[in-house]
Amino acid sequence: MKPQTAVILSGCFNFLGVFFGGLAVAYAIVNLIPTELLLHIQSKQGMVMVFSLFASAIIWNLGTWYFGIPASSSHTLIGSILGVGIGNSLITGDSIANGVNWNKAIEVFTSLLVSPIFGAGLAGLLLFALLKIRPLSNIHKSPFQRQQIEGRKHPPFWARFMLIVSSMGMSFTHGSNDGQKGVGMVMLVLIALAPAQFVVNLDAEPIQIEHTKIAVVQLKEMYQRNQAIIDAKYPAGGNHTCEVNKVVAESAALLSAIGDARTLQQLPEASRSATRTQLICLADAAKKIGKVPGISEVDQKQLKGMQKDLATITEYAPTWVIIAVALAIGMGTMVGWKRVVHTIGEKIGKQDMTYAQGMAAQIMSAASIGLASLIGAPVSTTQILSSAVAGTMLVNRAGIHFSTVKTIALTWILTLPASLCLALGMYYCGIKLVS
């Protein structure tokens, strides 16, 4: 394809990826933020938090883009969230262990660490299989070699078809994973600026509201059945908004507030924030109860279902938000593609990429990112693709520009601490200014 056509199609498929990608990754990122900060996002403290997250992420992402270095937006966001959490702990005097959702952070770190290795290995294996099955095929020529030897500009038909399909798949899965992170951040802003309209899903279906009420009743009953062992694990006390021993009181208050409402638009504006707080606290309690020794496996499975039903009303995004983020990532692809494309396509390997290498790298990158989006794991799409290209270069014995790989790896290592320090500094200074 001509570059202009390819870039436009890539932007369109990025748009579609965001639009149809769901919200699992969006709230996997949002839920890294400590519960206490999520509950007070409408306050000045919450506004400073949102500004710090956005500013630190944008500064680092723009800097790496300017120098054409493939950087991870997931790493950047996670580092920013950790910085805000640690900054909040320093200000409040709370333990850093409680300042960040470390269990969720470890899950995300694991996916970020494993996914590039996974992508590189799979791409290398696929190229190895193609070399064994069709060693003399034209798919193992680079565009320059094919033009010099056969005088043809385009790759063989099936190779060209698979290159186009896999690149569109890569664009789609990129949008489905990276775009969701943007959706999550936009929702934080909307909740902070207009809580009455966005703290809960006012367009929730009656069946969703009913499932939420059932989950509240089930959680209350489960707590009462296991109260002795739960209270032993989570005794009363502390100054946190969410306490496990408040399940009964919060359940009663929430059921009373919702009542027989068929839509959440019937809730008074003044009580919507309280409803969101109760739902988040109950979901947090369900998660904690599931970790209590002595809770049966059957109850643990039920608790996971309750968490999902309790989060339905708060973990959502209006269609217009998804479309806006989809347009942003699509336009960003069309406008800012050249620097990073040049690095991935030409600076990783010492030789031109063959058609087979392109197919292997794109197919396995798209598959890896698509699987991650399906299970709600935030991954670095750029790092997966860069690693996949490097994997095919090694299998093809094409040689690697270690200076480029070193720069990418160094950026991969530095992104987390750099964005963490940026967000921590901005948040700490911001809170001091507004307090």
The answer on 234 and 137 residing in a single domain is no
Whole-angstrom CA distances from 411 to 76, 145, 333 are 11, 33, 21
Quick: pLDDT tens for 185-222: 888 888 877 888 888 999 999 999 999 999 999 999 99
If asked whether residues 37 and 168 sit together in one domain, one would say yes
Which one of 248, 282, 311 terminates a domain? Answer: 311
Q: Closest Cα partner for 344 from 379, 385, 384, 380? A: 385
Residues 226 and 185 in one domain: no
237 and 111 in a common domain: no
pLDDT in tens, 264-301: 888 888 888 888 888 988 988 898 898 888 888 888 88
Same domain, 114 and 142: yes
Give the distance, in angstroms, between the CA of residue 243 and the centroid of all CA atoms in the same chain. Answer: 27
Number of domains forming the structure of the chain? 2
pLDDT in tens, 357-412: 999 999 999 998 998 888 888 888 878 888 898 888 888 887 777 777 777 777 77
At which of 287, 311, 335 does a domain end?
A: 311
pTM: 0.80
Report residue 245 as tokens.
């021993």
Quick one: 236 and 191 in the same domain? no
Answer with the one of 278, 311, 344 that is the final residue of a domain.
311
Closest CA to 258 of 214, 293, 323, 192: 214
Q: How far apart are CA 153 and CA 169, in angstroms?
A: 24
Three-state SS string over 363-420 comes to HHHHHHHHHHHHHCCCCCHHHHHHHHHHHHHHHCCCCECHHHHHHHHHHHHHHHHHHH
Q: Are residues 275 and 334 in the same domain?
A: no
In this structure, are 339 and 399 located in the same domain?
yes
- Residue 205: give the domain boundaries: 200-311
Are 10 and 78 members of one domain?
yes
- DSSP 8-state code for residue 243: -
Same-domain check for residues 81 and 133? yes
For residues 156 and 182, state if they share a domain: yes
pLDDT digits (tens, 9 = 90+) for 136-157: 888 888 888 888 888 877 788 8
Are 51 and 158 members of one domain? Answer: yes
How many whole angstroms separate alpha carbon 233 and alpha carbon 225? Answer: 15
